[in-house]
Amino acid sequence: MRIRTVMAFTGALTLSLVSGCAQGGAAGSGAGSVTYWLWDANQLPAYQACAKGFEKENPGLDVKITQLGWADYWTKLTASFIAGTEPDVFTDHIQKFGQFADLNVLEPLDDLGIDDSAYQTGLGANWIGRDGHRYGAPKDWDTVALFYDKKLTEAAGLTADQLNSLSWNPRDGGTFEKAIARLTVDRNGNRGDEPGFDKHHVKVYGLATGGAGDSDGQTTWSPFTASAGWNYTDKVRWGDTYAYDSKTFQSVIDWYFGLAEKGYLAPYTDYTDGANPANAQVASGRAAAAFDGAWMISTYYGTKGLDVGTAVTPTGPSGKRATMMNGLADSVTKNARNKGGAKKWVTYLASNACQKTVGGYGIVFPATPDGTAAAVAAYRKKGIDVSAFTEPVTDKRHARTFSFPVTDYAADVYALMRPAMQDVFANGAPVSGLTKTNDQINFILGQ
């Protein structure tokens, strides 16, 4: 009797667990709903507003938005692909695109009729896979500029105009190196360009460190390597070989990390992803300026007690300034439960109507020119001048924009380049060692 009771209880428990699991797997995927994931909490209200517009136009369809922090986002997305619980639509990053294409988890979007010319240059073409199919609808873009603490630049005697017209070269660093030397102050009050400067005891660095830059150097070395005329790969998209072995690249890296040895750039030891990123170094007064992306505008301008200015990246030996222009997209998953609804939602997200709505929130630059204009106006309303971010996109004569490298085996490239670049910056390893890493990368790409 007792055994029967125990067995019945165990059976009931097992059944409840099994049914509980089944319920968990099917949650939030009703026939009329579209699940959508994004990582930026600042953008959530804008996309909630878009969802309302979409639901009004498409009665019977509702959008369930999930926001997850950047790091959790990719881990959870990966796990969801494995478990078969992936969202119908998700915000995609070009750095991950190659890997998702390799894994064959994206739904082709050729039938959406996306017109590349309706978006800022290059944003649409980046989402065409090696197989010629489209896997993402352009969503927004960002560029990199120099954020600076106005109080410190004024104390150093540097004007906004001077900071906006800096140039550099790998021989003597040009006016850019002079400016950050001027902004650097040691514990005795000597500036970096003054006699008696103690580079071992720096109180305020001219330039904050953003780490070693991994394989892309988006907010660290890429404005310099690109303005020296260097490209990551042999082709604009889906290149077959990387060029980290190039003399140009290695000489720029040598000069850039050499700024830390001179005491002008905060050393690698001062950088911590979680605790002390570049903006925290500026906010704490430990650095006078930092290269950072447009997605950080609200963070810098929202820092209490910090009077911020922005300047375009310096002009390089190629005669142009350069910045990475990274565009995000919305992608539909191959196993989306509501593929029809998902495609409708992506079409709406890529529309001028939605992008103008998002632009109106002044938190990101949408991909359509009208969306971008709405964002610029919204920033202006908040008293923020974003021309340092928009000029490189519009002024093609003086500026060059470039994308993240889009290739196969992107995760392997990252895994190999990350420690290699850290070795150069943190341990002072010779830049020539990057040639060996480049050979390893090209070997993988050649498989």
By the criterion CB under 8 A, which residues form the site for other proteins? Answer: 2-3, 6-7, 10, 75, 78, 81-82, 99, 102-105, 212, 266, 268-276, 280-281, 284, 286, 411-412, 414-415, 418-420, 422-423, 426-427, 429
Please report how close the Cβ of residue 272 comes to other proteins at its closest, in angstroms. Answer: 6
The residue among 381 and 436 lying less far from other proteins, judged by its C-beta, is 436
- Cβ-contact 124, 138 below 8 angstroms: yes
- 37 vs 185: CA distance, rounded Å: 45
Helix ranges (H only) for 360-398 are 369-381, 387-394
Question: In this structure, are strands 137-142 and 326-332 parallel, antiparallel, or unpaired?
Answer: antiparallel
Q: What is the DSSP string of 150-172?
A: HHHHHHTT--HHHHHT-B--TTT
Half-sphere CA count of 438, side-chain side, radius 13 A: 18
Please report how close the Cβ of residue 13 comes to other proteins at its closest, in angstroms. Answer: 8
For the chain, the first-to-last Cα distance in angstroms comes to 65
Please report how close the Cβ of residue 22 comes to other proteins at its closest, in angstroms. Answer: 16
Please report how close the Cβ of residue 78 comes to other proteins at its closest, in angstroms. Answer: 6
Please report how close the Cβ of residue 173 comes to other proteins at its closest, in angstroms. Answer: 24
| Count of C-beta atoms within a 10 Å radius of residue 417 | 23
Please report how close the Cβ of residue 378 comes to other proteins at its closest, in angstroms. Answer: 32
DSSP strands (E only) in 17-134:
33-38, 62-67, 89-92
CA distances from 26 to 21, 205, 234 (A): 9, 53, 45
Please report how close the Cβ of residue 205 comes to other proteins at its closest, in angstroms. Answer: 10
Burial class (CB in 10 A: 0-12, 13-18, 19+), 250: buried
Please report how close the Cβ of residue 422 comes to other proteins at its closest, in angstroms. Answer: 4
- Cβ-contact 388, 146 below 8 angstroms: yes
The residue among 115 and 273 lying less far from other proteins, judged by its C-beta, is 273
Please report how close the Cβ of residue 160 comes to other proteins at its closest, in angstroms. Answer: 27
- 286 vs 211: CA distance, rounded Å: 15
The residue among 80 and 401 lying less far from other proteins, judged by its C-beta, is 80
Please report how close the Cβ of residue 293 comes to other proteins at its closest, in angstroms. Answer: 20
In 3D space, the residue among 114, 113, 60, 71 whose CA is nearest the CA of residue 93 turns out to be 71
Return the bridge partners of 310, or none: 147
The residue among 31 and 275 lying less far from other proteins, judged by its C-beta, is 275
Strand order in the sheet with 144-149: 185-186, 202-207, 287-293, 144-149, 308-311
Considering only CA atoms, give the Rg of the chain.
24
Question: Tokens for 137?
Answer: 């609808």
- 163 vs 153: CA distance, rounded Å: 9
The residue among 103 and 377 lying less far from other proteins, judged by its C-beta, is 103
Please report how close the Cβ of residue 269 comes to other proteins at its closest, in angstroms. Answer: 3
- Cβ-contact 343, 332 below 8 angstroms: yes
Running DSSP on this structure, what letter comes out for residue 191?
Answer: B
The residue among 117 and 427 lying less far from other proteins, judged by its C-beta, is 427
